[in-house]
Amino acid sequence: MPMKRLTQLLCLLLVAAFLVGCAPQGQTEDPTTAPDSSGASVDSTQPQEAVLTEQAIAELSALGESPDDNYRVFYEIFVYSFCDSNGDGIGDLQGVISKLDYLQELGINGIWFMPIHPSQSYHKYDVRDYYDIDPDYGTMADMEQLLAECNARGINVITDLVLNHTGDDHEWFLTACEYLRNLPAGAEPDVSECPYVDYYYFSKEAGSGYHAISGSQWYYEGKFSPDMPDLNLGNETVRAEIRDIMQFWFDKGVSGFRLDAAKEFYSGDVNANVEVLSWIQETATSIKEDAYLVAEVWEGFGQVTNYYKSGITSLFNFPFGNTDGKVPAVVRGAGNAKTVSSYAKALEQADTAYLEANPNYIDAPFVSNHDVGRIAGFVARDELKMKMAGAMNVLMSGSCFIYYGEEIGMTGSGNDPSKRAPMYWNAERNNGVTDPPPECELPESYPLASAEEQRVDDSSLYNYYRQVIALRKAMPVISHGRTTAEEALNVNCISAQRKTWGEEECIILLNIQTEGTTVDLSAYEGWTLAASISADGNPITLEGTSLNMPAYGLAVLVPAE
């Protein structure tokens, strides 16, 4: 849907479009007051509010982006722990299908699946077969049904594409190892006899990160694990295999891929990694013009900027996410004016640098994922801070990523399995709730209620996420806009950023502190309150040029028409 139409839809669905002049209970509105653009009566002597109705949230949540638009709200799913449809304790694709209505109600229009291929591990990053579905998760027919169901809802699907390594039970690796075991003493491998010996890194020397091949004098590189032999991505035959894999899944209906461990393709060699990413991007878009790729480069700001020179569509914005990123730091430092005001400036600096490195980049913000601790842990289980962190993520430009369960405040830290605990669908932990993955340490209790309980609680974290996502969908300038810090408003623990996209503009204000405050808008004549979302239930009101914001309040200003 065109941006202009979406903006108009927001204005139509706001409560009284600034809900101004609400009469006291038992009284009627003054019919002499002038109507605003939505037809609601406006009385400039009364506080103004602009809040989304449930009807607005429902309609916007169900709204998908245009088919060629890769600015989306992605939901990361670990199938193993998401929803069990057959009672075997392990999540599966049919379980995901059963929850698509839930995701659509939340406002999700993109899904990122962690690996779904056959594997010997619970996490499945050691792929045995890139062309199949792990039997614990279901069948290829289940995947085809899932893709069709997602397509009907306007939900794009990307899957993990693990290219740094395969599993040690992959046919390529098994064939190469058997060949090396049978080589005559002193003979060197011949790729004409066994092409797979050049698919990996084999050596007669036991270097760092190398492991012995049983029954031979040979070693192979597997820096992550002996179960994960590293692929030789400089081999043109390997690249041909990768192209075929992408073609297969594009033909099935996926919209793109998440590229695992992209900075480890050639560990320590940024230039080589950039070359591989450039090739993958060019190859993917030669198959599917609007393919969406997002790469995992777990690095700081400077290196993420360097990797954007590859032309890759998106890189996860680790400098802002993760437990030590900018968003967690600002939320933990709530009430510190210097810390809060630095946020908008950091957004501007990142946008400027990334754009210079890749004019076509789409940011990929996140706060938590399957490798890092959940939001609840780094904000000491403070629900208002969970809301603020979630809003900061969703309101960043680009395609934002939400880890399953963050919308209900799940906990998870420590070892990797504990960060991938069963989705908390209901308090009884049945009817789709999976068993925990191996070595997962379940919390004795979750800090917040289950998804079932939160869906019917208007003040819940879940319904807060729905509101913020709906706001983002209603105003595409939020997701598509270029970001600058609005210096005049970055005072008193207010973070203010201006988004600009074509002729559209907005200013996003966040009150990141435990107290309410008033923002002076006297220098912003011609701007008006377009939307607000309260974290604690207290109203956000505009009285003349004074914007009253409660703790952790969120407001959006737009130029008056």
With H, G, I as helix, E, B as strand and everything else as coil, classify residue 138. coil
Residues in Cβ contact with 540 at an 8 Å cutoff, skipping those fewer than 6 apart = 49, 51, 529, 532, 533, 534, 547, 548, 549, 550, 553, 554, 555
Q: Does the annotation count 260 as an active-site position?
A: yes
Partner residues linked to 215 by β-bridges? none
Identify the active-site residue in 69, 84, 296, 504: 296
Tell me whether residue 300 is exposed, middle or buried, using C-beta atoms within 10 angstroms of its C-beta: 0 to 12, 13 to 18, 19 or more: exposed
Distance CA 103, CA 294 (A): 21
What letter does residue 460 receive in the DSSP assignment? S
3-state DSSP helix/strand/coil percent for the chain, to nearest 5?
35, 15, 50
Tell me whether residue 292 is exposed, middle or buried, using C-beta atoms within 10 angstroms of its C-beta: 0 to 12, 13 to 18, 19 or more: buried
Query: Could you tell me the strand order of the sheet in which 482-485 lies?
Result: 482-485, 494-501, 504-511, 554-559, 527-533
The single-letter code of the amino acid at 4 is K
Between the alpha carbon of residue 275 and those of residues 231, 280, 282, 385, the distances in Å are 15, 9, 11, 40
Q: Does the annotation count 168 as an active-site position?
A: no
Identify the active-site residue in 260, 363, 382, 486: 260
Locate 347 and state its tokens.
């957004």
Distance CA 228, CA 213 (A): 13
Indicate the pairing of strand 219-221 with strand 202-203.
Answer: antiparallel
Q: Name the residues annotated as catalytic.
A: 260, 296
